[in-house]
Structure 1
Amino acid sequence: MLKILIVDDEVLERTALTKIINGSLEDVIVIGEAPNGRKAIEMAQEHRPDIIFMDIKMPGIDGVQAVKAIKKFDPSIRFIMVSAFNTFEYAKEVMQQGVKEYILKPSRKQDILAGLQRVSDEIKEERKLVEERQSLRENLDRAVSIAQKEWVSSLLLNQVQDITFDEWGQLLGVEITSGYIMLFSLLPMGEAELSASEKHNWYLWLKDVLKSVVKKQEMMIGPITDSQVPVLFLYKKAMEKIHYKTTAQKVIENLNSHFCNIPIRAELRIGVGLPYNHAHELNQSYHEAVTALQQLLKTPTRRYLFAVKQGPGEIPSVSGVLEIEKKLLDAVRQGDVNQVLFIFDSFATKLAANKELKESLVKKSFDELFILVSRMLHDLGISYERMPAVDVTEDLAVIFEKGKAHLLAVVHHVQVWRNNHAKGMLHKAKEYIENHYADSITLELVAEYVELSPFYFSKLFKDRFGMTFIDYLTELRINHAKIEMVDQGKSLKEICFSIGYKDPNYFSRVFKKQTGLSPTDFRKATVG
């Protein structure tokens, strides 16, 4: 409903306009009348009307002066000028204020309503565009958030080998030089475990707070797993890596003022990994953040701890261990028992073989591995209890055996899930694609429909059907295009739009890539 204010020094004019407007249009209403410019300014400030019918010639503050004053505090208000003075100077002055409608007294009803309709339509069209832009922005923000979660998840599982800081910088619109991981952990106050809704509320709170306090760094917030949230901080070119601890400290200090507002009875702890110059090294920063967090939990009085650069021999040939971890997680995801056993033995042997490695670090490495397994299961949508934290008092051989038994149980769970639940979800996804191929369909949309992480939906889809989601969708659309080309009454442009493409030129390129022929040549060859 659009609100109208009538401004005229003649009471009969105001009454007549009010009667005409309220009695003729359903989506507008007169919310007040003002006898002069001064009163019009006061009422406009109080009621914020959408449209003002403004008489030009009034004693004191005239209509032109009133328009200027009102536009200063609310430029969105539209004006329809009403005057018995049919002179160019008056018209020119209000036109300079952006006023497009000008009605002469005595005014005919159809002129009043026609002018009002034009302004109303313009307002509605602008509001529609604003809503569409807002919706587009929300969808874009949502897509970016999903993409960031997937990037961080892939990074933690050491599955990001082919993306560089340069490529990340291009996507983000800034030049990235290095990055590091902060790991946020929520500790319940008391014996009771946190519920899923409590964790979700905390996760939303953490995202909002981080976005409000992080100003100078790019940031990607990962998914929550086991009450832990990894956050990737990226340095822009203007920021020196040597200042990493200072900037990280500022983030934490800014968070301090928000700690008392955590929506549930819990405490926040933060482990901070070291910065690295290459994207593939960020997995190491995550492991360091995990280690820092584990050490921090032994010191209840501290909220955060930075990782310390280890000396030679204290980290077991990191790149080799991380590569084995990646292979092990892939084998678990595939449900391959033999590979899991073989790789796990290699993992255990590699850790145990390093004589210079402290036993406590070996045990922490196992703890980190099972955190990663738990995170992977979470991303797959599999509900499974995480292996309890490693008991540092136990013998390494006992820890190895317990770890192997836990992994075998996880693999069995994954096998059941892949054979039943995953197959059902992929079949459901395939049906959804076949029914909606002509819509603006995306991998994220389908993954959400079947309640899977986009990252793992993409992997499972390719494993199951032997092609990527986009290749399958493209093949489906092109096959439907071929069928529709039999109907000579349909133009290629119509066919393009009917199968989900918005650009005929792009459709033509995709079609030729798939079939070797342009749509025109294909139609000639098959239909004649």
Structure 2
Amino acid sequence: MKLLIVDDEPIEREGMQAILQKAFPDLTIYQGKNGKLAIELANVIQPDLILMDIMMPGMTGLEAIEKIQAEHSSIKFVMVTAFDMFDYAREAIKLGVKDYLLKPSRASEIVDTVGRVLEECRREREAEATSQIQHEKWQQALTLAETDIVTQLLFDHIHEVHIDMLVEMLNIRSTAEKFVLVVLLPKGGEHYYISIKEKVRENGTAWIGALYGRQLPIIMFRDQEKSFRLQAITLAASILSLGKKQMGSGWFIGIGQVYEPLDEIRQSYQEALIATIDTTLAAKSRFYADVPALSLETDNQIIKRQQKDFFDQIRLGNWVSIRSGVLDLIRQHENGGNSLIYTQQRVLELLWVANRVMDEMGMEANAPFFPFQVQDYRQLRTETLLLLERMNAIYDAHYDQVEDDKIHQIKQFIYEHSHKAISLDILAQRVNLSPIYISKMFKGKLGINYIDFLTECRIEKAKKLLNDPERSLKEITFEGRLS
């Protein structure tokens, strides 16, 4: 800590410093010979405590305190005064001075008085540090709550903390109009995440999700002072300005429609994804409403339902249902007499949704494109199935790797804890999978169920224990849980 002694008598300053330096060896002590110099030193060194003499030439101690307090409210003061200056000391205490010392004072009184004020300074420092840590932790919690809200709203994930509680934490009206932007970053562009968040904050209120693959979903709240298009275009331009030098390498922004209810915002997200169907556009951003429609008005509700179902089936990995659904779509359009170009676009939209969902789940799948304009519906079915097979292979390869890792974790956990009661629920919590999925995965990968594997582990441990002549059969049976 730092202390400043202000007195016009050098012998008083030196004597005070000698007493305090001996009592508080870690204290850094400075000296000032008048009030004006005290103000200058306070600005430079910002001491924790100032011992201020009242009567000094040029500027009194009280005047100096008033000026210093105006700039540095946290600095504390102890007045030093002669007996006949007692009235001044009382006035000083009214100004917030912590204590005063009478001239002359015994060394013990000086040490006690200064010690009390320094202890108060120390406690305030600790409280301030604790408050800062708590503030930082709260800000981190708010950031997690924000990304959690986006995850729950857009991806239908179930979390322990209900979304209403998260919305209340963020103190944002969830009934306001909202729309979704999906920012596609270039490969390796994860370092733009913080900069994008700052740009979004500059342009209004939003919930910013986590980065999924190359995609960053943003739920933006409508600014009632601007039109929807102006707000979205301004924000998109601000974000894209971060990557001006990389405009040809993956940057793109899709913008969904405006919705008010929270349970409808997922539709805006799906629309934003579809708006990114062609990232070769020069503008590098597009509204869903501007996607070339070729649309039949009677198809709108069917299309929305198909897109939602497609999202769900991709996440679940139900590729048989996916293939069946796409072929049904093609057959419906063919039987309805729709043009081949229109049908091909609708199929491509669904495939693009699948690609985006896979990207969101951490799978790097190439964007689905038909290599040529198909000539008939038979050819459309053939080329569509080829694209689906490639996507299915990428999905399976990804989850084979994930399942191998999970199986390894489960086997290791069972082996290390085979002497305890292990249920499917315990394993599920350990690897963050459902009990039913674990049972199915275990059987499929190892050819036995987890109970059989657990029993084998216990038998192997018992065999090892039997080699120990110091152990009885009763002990071994108990430790192996074989009884």
- TM-score, normalisation: structure 1: 0.67
Whether the 8 Å CA contact 1:181–1:233 is kept in 2: the answer is: yes
Bigger relative contact order, structure 1 or 2, given CA contacts below 8 A and separation 6+? 1
Summarize the Cα distance change of 1:406–1:246 in structure 2 as closer, same or farther, 3 Å threshold.
closer
Q: Please tell me the residue identity of whatever aligns with 2:215.
A: Q
- 1:307 is matched with 288
Work out the CA distance in 2 between the residues paired with 1:121 and 1:462.
61
Work out the CA distance in 1 between the residues paired with 2:371 and 2:16.
85
- 2:405 is matched with 420
- 2:257 is matched with 274
Summarize the Cα distance change of 1:15–1:38 in structure 2 as closer, same or farther, 3 Å threshold.
same
Work out the CA distance in 2 between the residues paired with 1:64 and 1:77.
14
Summarize the Cα distance change of 1:348–1:277 in structure 2 as closer, same or farther, 3 Å threshold.
farther
Q: Please tell me the residue identity of whatever aligns with 1:36.
A: N
- 2:194 is matched with 204
Whether the 8 Å CA contact 1:271–1:289 is kept in 2: the answer is: yes
- 2:219 is matched with 232
Work out the CA distance in 2 between the residues paired with 1:273 and 1:53.
65
Aligned length, in residue pairs = 410
Percent sequence identity over matched residues?
23
Whether the 8 Å CA contact 2:146–2:166 is kept in 1: the answer is: no
Equivalent position to 1:45, from 40, 43, 46: 43
Q: 2:22 matched to 1:17?
A: no
Work out the CA distance in 2 between the residues paired with 1:62 and 1:361.
85
Deviations 1:321-369 (A, max 9, x none): 244234314423xxxxxx4423442255246634555422320221121
- 2:229 is matched with 245
Deviations 1:260-298 (A, max 9, x none): 6x8999674322111112222222212222232334x23
Work out the CA distance in 2 between the residues paired with 1:387 and 1:152.
25
**Secondary structure, aligned partner of 2:227:** helix
Summarize the Cα distance change of 1:320–1:265 in structure 2 as closer, same or farther, 3 Å threshold.
closer
> Which has the larger displacement, 70-79 or 395-404?
395-404
Whether the 8 Å CA contact 1:165–1:279 is kept in 2: the answer is: no
Matches within 5 A, 1:219-368: 219-235=206-222, 239-240=223-224, 243-252=227-236, 254-255=238-239, 268-295=251-278, 297-300=279-282, 302-308=283-289, 312-313=297-298, 315=300, 317-332=302-317, 339-350=318-329, 353-354=332-333, 358-368=343-353
- 1:73 is matched with 71
Matches within 5 A, 1:89-488: 89-159=87-157, 169-176=167-174, 177-187=176-186, 194-195=187-188, 199-211=189-201, 213-215=202-204, 217=205, 219-235=206-222, 239-240=223-224, 243-252=227-236, 254-255=238-239, 268-295=251-278, 297-300=279-282, 302-308=283-289, 312-313=297-298, 315=300, 317-332=302-317, 339-350=318-329, 353-354=332-333, 358-376=343-361, 378=362, 384-391=363-370, 393=372, 395=374, 396-397=380-381, 398-411=383-396, 413-421=398-406, 424=409
**Secondary structure, aligned partner of 2:146:** helix
Work out the CA distance in 1 between the residues paired with 2:6 and 2:54.
9
Q: Please tell me the residue identity of whatever aligns with 1:144.
A: L
- 1:526 is matched with none
Work out the CA distance in 1 between the residues paired with 2:387 and 2:247.
34
**Secondary structure, aligned partner of 2:77:** strand
Q: Please tell me the residue identity of whatever aligns with 1:180.
A: F
Work out the CA distance in 2 between the residues paired with 1:115 and 1:321.
78
Summarize the Cα distance change of 1:10–1:420 in structure 2 as closer, same or farther, 3 Å threshold.
same
Residue 38 of structure 1 deviates from its aligned partner by 0.8
Whether the 8 Å CA contact 1:284–1:318 is kept in 2: the answer is: no
Residue 10 of structure 1 deviates from its aligned partner by 0.7
Summarize the Cα distance change of 1:391–1:343 in structure 2 as closer, same or farther, 3 Å threshold.
closer
Q: Please tell me the residue identity of whatever aligns with 1:200.
A: E
Summarize the Cα distance change of 1:82–1:305 in structure 2 as closer, same or farther, 3 Å threshold.
same
Summarize the Cα distance change of 1:330–1:307 in structure 2 as closer, same or farther, 3 Å threshold.
closer
**Secondary structure, aligned partner of 1:294:** coil
Flag the structure with larger Rg.
2
Summarize the Cα distance change of 1:79–1:247 in structure 2 as closer, same or farther, 3 Å threshold.
same
Deviations 1:402-431 (A, max 9, x none): 323432542354255235336628987xx9
**Secondary structure, aligned partner of 1:54:** strand
Summarize the Cα distance change of 1:427–1:97 in structure 2 as closer, same or farther, 3 Å threshold.
farther
Work out the CA distance in 2 between the residues paired with 1:93 and 1:426.
77
- TM-score, normalisation: structure 2: 0.73
Q: Please tell me the residue identity of whatever aligns with 1:149.
A: T
**Secondary structure, aligned partner of 2:151:** helix
Work out the CA distance in 2 between the residues paired with 1:264 and 1:328.
33
Residue 53 of structure 1 deviates from its aligned partner by 1.2
Residue 180 of structure 1 deviates from its aligned partner by 0.9
Residue 127 of structure 1 deviates from its aligned partner by 2.0
Whether the 8 Å CA contact 2:311–2:357 is kept in 1: the answer is: no
**Secondary structure, aligned partner of 2:216:** strand
Summarize the Cα distance change of 1:318–1:426 in structure 2 as closer, same or farther, 3 Å threshold.
farther
